């Protein structure tokens, strides 16, 4: 599948795999690009820089709670699972050394007033998860009031972010709102991110 020619050349060829809400994909193939569209959701891109193996996930914390012990709500267990699943898959297919991982995080936009604080909670959650696990994001593009398309080359670790117009944002927000209302989650380095 060819991508839009306005993309950097590295992203304009090869195989594109879409990462949907609830998905986690990992590869070391040089011609693979992972692609996703995010509103309030979060996508982490994790890469073993030595083994040149990486992956992308996509998750939404659909519910929140005020309880101190369950600060982000029951669905945070899914967010933790999504992050652990991605990190473990990259480690098992890569060098197995946590020190070789680079992590980039995207999303958490406020694109619908009905999902008022979901994006912010998702950002807070992923940052806290990484801190608790001893990781530091090497780069990020979080927040804002727009949807974004994220492309990630797991072999090279390059990421490309395109901010999407409001029509796409409305569609993304509608899908996320439906998930949040059902309270169901589907099963399942700064200079190298280009903003377009």
Alpha carbons 31 and 179: distance in angstroms, whole number: 32
Block residue for tokens 């589907």: 186
Which neighbouring-strand residues pair with 17?
34
The answer to whether residue 141 scores a pLDDT higher than 90 is yes
CATH number of 154's domain: 3.30.1330.200
Which neighbouring-strand residues pair with 44?
105
45 is a catalytic site residue: no
What's the pLDDT score for residue 4? 47
Residue 112 lies in a domain: yes
Tell me the whole-structure pTM to 2 decimals: 0.79
Residue 10 lies in a domain: no
Residue 8 lies in a domain: no
Q: In what order do the strands lie in the sheet with 15-18?
A: 15-18, 32-38, 148-152, 159-163, 193-195
The answer to whether residue 191 scores a pLDDT higher than 50 is no
Tell me which residue range forms the domain holding 23.
Answer: 15-195
Q: Which position among 26, 37, 41, 103 bears the catalytic label? A: 41
Alpha carbons 57 and 42: distance in angstroms, whole number: 8
Secondary structure of residue 37 in the 3-state scheme: strand
The answer to whether residue 186 scores a pLDDT higher than 60 is no
The answer to whether residue 71 scores a pLDDT higher than 60 is no
Tally of domains in the chain: 1
Residue 173 lies in a domain: yes
Q: Quick one: which of 129, 130, 123, 172 has its CA closest to 149?
A: 172
Residue 34 lies in a domain: yes
Tell me the pLDDT band of 180, cut-offs 50, 70 and 90.
low
Residue 56 lies in a domain: yes
């Amino acid at each position: 599948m060819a991508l839009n020619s306005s993309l950097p050349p590295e992203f304009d060829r090869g195989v594109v795999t879409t990462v949907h809400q609830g998905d986690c994909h990992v590869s070391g193939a040089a011609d693979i690009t992972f692609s996703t569209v995010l509103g309030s959701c979060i996508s982490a891109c994790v890469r073993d820089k030595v083994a040149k193996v990486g992956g992308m996930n996509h998750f939404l914390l659909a519910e929140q709670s005020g309880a101190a012990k369950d600060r982000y709500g029951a669905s945070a267990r899914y967010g933790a699972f999504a992050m652990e699943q991605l990190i473990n898959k990259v480690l098992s297919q890569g060098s197995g050394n946590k020190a070789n991982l680079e992590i980039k995080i995207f999303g958490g936009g406020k694109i619908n007033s009905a999902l008022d604080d979901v994006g912010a909670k998702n950002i807070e959650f992923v940052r806290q998860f990484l801190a608790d696990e001893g990781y530091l994001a090497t780069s990020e593009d979080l927040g804002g009031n727009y949807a974004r398309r994220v492309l990630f080359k797991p072999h090279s670790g390059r990421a490309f972010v395109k901010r999407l117009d409001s029509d796409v944002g409305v569609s993304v927000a509608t899908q996320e709102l439906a998930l949040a209302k059902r309270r169901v989650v589907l099963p399942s380095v700064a200079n190298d991110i280009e903003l377009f």
